[in-house]
Each structure stands twice: as structure tokens, then as C-alpha cells.
Chain A
Amino acid sequence: MRPARVLRSAAFGLALLYAGLFGGSAALFSAGFGRAVDDYAEASTERDLAGEVAKVRARAERLALPELAAFVARRERTSAGSHYRYLLLGPHHERLAGTLPSSIARAGAFKFELPDAAEAEDASENTADARSDTIRAIGLPRADGAILVVARDEFAMTELTSWVDRATLWTGAGFVVFALIGGYLIAWAFVARVERVNVAARRIMAGRLDERLPIIGVGDEFRRLSASLNAMLDRIEALMDGLRQVSTDIAHDLRTPLTRLRHTLERVGPETSAGEAQEATGIALEQLDSVLATFAALLRIGIIEGGADRAGFARLDLGETMRRVADAYRPAAEDAGKQLIADLAPAIWIDGDAELLTQMFANLVDNAIVHGGDHVHMELRTEGTTVIASVADNGPGIPAGERAKVLQRFYRLDASRSSPGGGLGLALVAAIADLHGLKLLLSDNVPGLRIQLRKNCSTVNRRHERN
């Protein structure tokens, strides 16, 4: 994987952010620490200086100038290592002892900067840092106009603070490098997993719809994301299968009636009599209507399977819907020599589309009438919280092996291949049932076919009639 991708990734960006935050707080800490050390250095130097001044004050006041000069020179020599410096100026500003520059002499507490040139005498003790030193001094004026200045440099403390600064810098830099490397590695691992998902997704989009995305196993939220994406793919695959099915069906099964139509029209020529031509036109129109009806039904099924119609659902009395279908079909059933009986429980309410459900039951009753037998039975009842609606006939039924296939579009039992109907009735029933969450079951009515639609309604509303 290209480094550029890792560097641009969110994971790396987050790692940088954390590094930046920590670096910032580390910088703050070190600044505070440095400040504290500086304050300590100051206080320490002042304390030491005060101590030294206390020691020499008595002599500074009592001794005569020549003795004082000798004392100061001695003191300077012996305290060379402890960084005390002195200056003794006579009443006429003549240098009597000490190594400090005369210009700095003044009474009271003060401080000044001294460039390194003055440190040349202590070259052996000084480390090689080319900085100027801060010197703290206290000037003790005498009654005779002379002045003794006692001073201390902050060299030791300066050394300490500079060492602390350097240490902080190095650890800070070390941390940043560590954070960058660590962040890069973590980001790399993360990006690698995400990249695998991307690659799989591209493969799927290129046509391998049966594949699914690998799980990004980095955390719960990503696992859920992968699961959701895979569920989406399941749905897309189902829809595409449906589409493919429709195309196949159309190509395969509509060609036959259209071919028949062509044959009918082909036979009409200049030799055909007017009557024959009229008849042929009539037949052709019938065949064309049948094809158009098939198209309309296919489209209907497609729309229903897409789930769009669910938006128009309302609460309805299922028994009432079935009763209206039974009443509408009863005369036709009787004319076909069959008895149509409806046993419908009252007050069973579900959410659905009245029109689609009507069409569904009408389809089932249509089928039952067309089948053999002399009896059509519509039933609606509940078993606990399950609603069961069924349409049964006592015709030849469907052999167990074919019951699943019968719900496909255009599938026809060999026995009924020749009868009209397009073979879409049960496919439409299946689509409407699915849309309403109704489970479709085909079983042997012993004899005949029983089609059951079941729905588990935890909220089966049984509104009792008011007395």
C-alpha cells in the first residue's frame, strides 16, 4: 500500500492530532518546569549572595582599606570555584581588589550581564557554552566613599536550566518521532482493512453480486457497519435477481403469444375474404389484449415486489375484504357448477392495501373456479395470535413437488398449459402476500389445493361489537 494513502488517512490524522496534543502539553509542562527552575535559581542565588554578604559585611565596615583589599583578594582566590566575585573600589573609584569591571559598582542589590571574555580566567572550569552570564550583586558603600561589591553568577543554575531544556527537547522530539511511527503503523493496519473492503466492494460492483464484504474487525461500530452494508447487498442481489427474472420471463414466455399473433396476421393477404379478414383481426386483437394484460401484470408484480406500495397502507377489516370478493364471485361460481362458501371471522384488522388484497383473493378464487372440483371454500380464522386466511378447492390439486415452483412467474403445470391465463396469477398473489408480510403456504386439501396466508399479529385487534 502506498504511503501516501496511509498519510492521507483519517487514522493517521488522528494519530497526528494526539501527537500534537501531547506535544503541546509536554511543551507547556516543560515551559512551566523551566520557569520553576528559573525561579529556584534566582531565589537560590539571592540566598547564597545574602549569606556571603553577611559573612563579609562586618569586615567591610571595620577594616581599613588596605587590609580590606587584601582580604577581598584572598577571598576571591579561595572562592573561585564557588562563583563569587568581588570588587573593591576606593573613594576615587580606583580599583583596589576584585575582578569585576569597575563600571558596575553601585549600592544596594542589582544584577548585570557579563560577557564571556571576563570568564577567561576560569577557563578550566567553564564548559564551552558561549553565553553571557547573569550576575547578581550587592553593593556595600562605606563611610569613606569606598564601595565593596559582592556578586554571584547564576552559572550553575543556568547550566541546570539549559540541561533541562535540552532534555525536554530531546524527549519531545523522541516522542514526536515515536508518535509518527506508531501512528503510521496503526493507520496502516486500519487502512489495510478498510482497503480490503473497498476492493471487495469494487469487485461486487463489477458484477460479482454474490460476494459479501469482509468484516472490518476493529471495533463494534465497524462490525455493525459491515453487517449493514452486507444486508444492503443482500437486498440489491434479490432485486437484481427479480429484474433478471422478469427479463427472462418476458423474453421467453411472451414470445409465444406474440408469435401466434404474427401468424394470425400473416395469413391475411390480398386473397383473403372480407369476412375472414374481419375474423383474423378479431383474433389478433384478442391475442394482443392477452399480451398487454400480461405486460401489465408483470409490471404490477415488479412494482409490488419493489415495495413501493407499502406507503399506501391503512387499517382494514380482512374479513370484510374477503367477503366482498366472495359475494362478487358467488354467482359466477354457481354458473360454473360450484358452491362457494365463506367462513369469515369478524373484526380482524390488519394494515394493508385494500385494492391489492382484493385482487389477491380474487386471483385465488379465480384459480379455484378454473380448477376442477365443485366446491370453493374461503376461510378466515385466528389461532392464538396468528391470522389464517385460506382459499381451498377440491379439484386435482398441485403435486407436492411442484408447489414451490408454481409461485414463479409463468410457471404452469403441464396440465394447464393450454388454458388461458398467462400463468401470472399465483406470482401476483405471492408478491402481494410478501408485501403484506403474509406467509404463503400451499397444501393438499385432500383432495384439491388449499392456499393459506398466515400472519403473526401480536396486535390482532379484536374490536368487540358494542351491544
Chain B
Amino acid sequence: MIGTDARTPGTNPKARPAIKLLLLEDDAHTAAYIARGLRELGHTLDVCTDGREAVFLATDGAYEVLIVDRMVPRLDGLSVIRMLRAGGITTPALVLTAVGGVKDRVEGLDAGGDDYLVKPFAFAELAARVNALGRRRPLALAPETLEVGDLVIDPMQRTVTRAGKRLDLQPQEYKLLEYLVRHAGQIVTRTMLLENVWSFHFDPRTNIVESHISRLRAKVDRDFAVPLIETVRGAGYRIDAPR
């Protein structure tokens, strides 16, 4: 979950789309850290330091992702999100906080946040989640099938084929693959997988994700020429069409 590199290695800033971000964070040090890292990845970032300013800017500018710290002056982060949602702004919001209890996370999501990250976090974690939020496909436009290279998933039937050959996956393997494919081309961290595939909001001592990924690889990649599932050292996993 927490990698040894501050920057996500193996990524080409030009290859990933730049996301327009608004960061609400009043601690100058943290704001600088986040801003520098995200700009190095090619994203554009505006920073504001109090809640009222954030509401004003987010209502006005066309941001694609909001990064919102809970503890800010004048209007706290959750109230900012609530206000924006009430005003019809659906920009995805990632909530940052030092408070990490179950109740607090639920509170953050209930207020209209889309993801929740507890400080301190690895930068790779933040980058991956921002990316996931910024490239979310609206459900209404969800295609009937999900495709990565020659891998095809039919979410309605829950069937998976690769190069036309039907793959037989266990329920957990399917869930894992579907999540990877919905974030195709993006890095998903171990934490994101634990939270979204297994609803584990803690870090197990045993690396269960790695074991499941290896099982998945055995079915999806082993008998095929080109592997689709990639381990990004220090960050997470990614499925991508071969270039």
C-alpha cells in the first residue's frame, strides 16, 4: 500500500490524460507535496485554502476532480461537498482526512464524497485514486461489453472470453478482473482492490491480493501470447491492451 517511490514509476505523463484538479488544503506543506506530485504527472491543479473559496471555485470552474481536506477554515470539507451537491455539482470528490474511523468514512461518503483517503498516504495511492475518479465512465454511457485488447467481458452475463475462448472464473476472480478492466490503463492500488472487491477497509497482514492476482493471471494470461495484467512495482496493478 505504501510504496517506496514518491512518483509512480513506469508512467509516461504524456500517455495519460491530464486531469483538471482543485485541491482544498490549508496546510501549506501538504498542499505543496500534493501539488508538486500531481503536476509532475501532467495534471493541472489549483489550490485553495478555505472552504468558502472552494465552493466558489468549484461552482464556477470546470474541474474534473476535487480533492478536499476535511479540516479547513471557514467551511469544513464535508460541508463544501454537501453544498456543491445541493447546487447540482457532480464533480467527483476525493476526501482527505487525518480521521479514519468507520463512522468518519461513512460520513464522508454520505456527504457526497466519492472516495476517502486517510492521512498519511502514499503518493501513489493518491495518484491512482485521482486517476480513477477522473476517468470514471458515466454509467449511462456504459458500453454493453468491456474490452481490453482481445479480452471481452459481458457484465450482464458475467462471462469472460479472450481471443474468443471462454474463460472459467471463480466469483472473486471475476470481480477482480471486472474492476481492473473498468479501470483499464490506470493503476489500481492494493488498497483500492481490497476496498472495492472484498470490502476490506483494513490492511491484512497476508497479501491476499497478490494471491488472487496470480490465480487470475493463470487463467487470463498464462495460455496467451501477450500478458494483459501488469504489476507496477511500488504502486499496484494495471490491465492494459498491449501497445
A residues engaging B (CB < 8 A)? 281-282, 285-286, 289, 292-293, 296, 300, 303, 308-309, 311-312, 324, 327-329, 331-336, 353, 355-356, 358-359, 362, 365-366, 369-370, 420-421, 425
Contact = CB atoms under 8 A, between A and B. Distances in A.
B74 interface: no
A332 B206 contact: yes
A285 B2 contact: yes
B101 A335 contact: no
Given A328-B198, A332-B211, A358-B199, A289 B2 contact: yes
B4 A282 contact: yes
B101 A303 contact: yes
A353 B102 contact: yes
The majority secondary structure among interface residues of chain A is helix
Interface string B81-111: 0000000000000000000111100100000
B102 A331 contact: no
Main secondary structure of the interface of B (DSSP, over half): loop
Nearest to B210: A332
Given A328-B198, A362-B200, A356 B205 contact: no
Contacts of A309: 101-103
Contacts of B120: 292
Contact of B200 (A293, A312, A358, A370): A358
Interface string B194-211: 000011111111111011
Closest 8 CB pairs of A and B: A331-B211, A332-B211, A282-B4, A366-B205, A332-B208, A289-B2, A332-B206, A359-B202
Given A312-B103, A358-B199, A366 B206 contact: yes
Contacts of A285: 2, 4
Nearest to B197: A328
A369 B102 contact: no
Contacts of A331: 208, 211-212, 214-215
B234 to A, nearest CB: 9
Contacts of A282: 4
B209 to A, nearest CB: 9
A355 B206 contact: no
Interface in B176-220: 198-208, 210-212, 214-215
Contacts of B171: 327
Contacts of B207: 332
Contacts of B2: 285, 289
A442 B105 CA distance: 33
Given A332-B211, A421-B205, 20 more contacts: A303-B101, A311-B103, A312-B106, A324-B198, A327-B171, A328-B172, A331-B208, A331-B215, A332-B207, A332-B210, A335-B211, A355-B199, A359-B201, A359-B202, A362-B200, A362-B204, A366-B205, A366-B206, A369-B206, A370-B205
Nearest to A327: B172
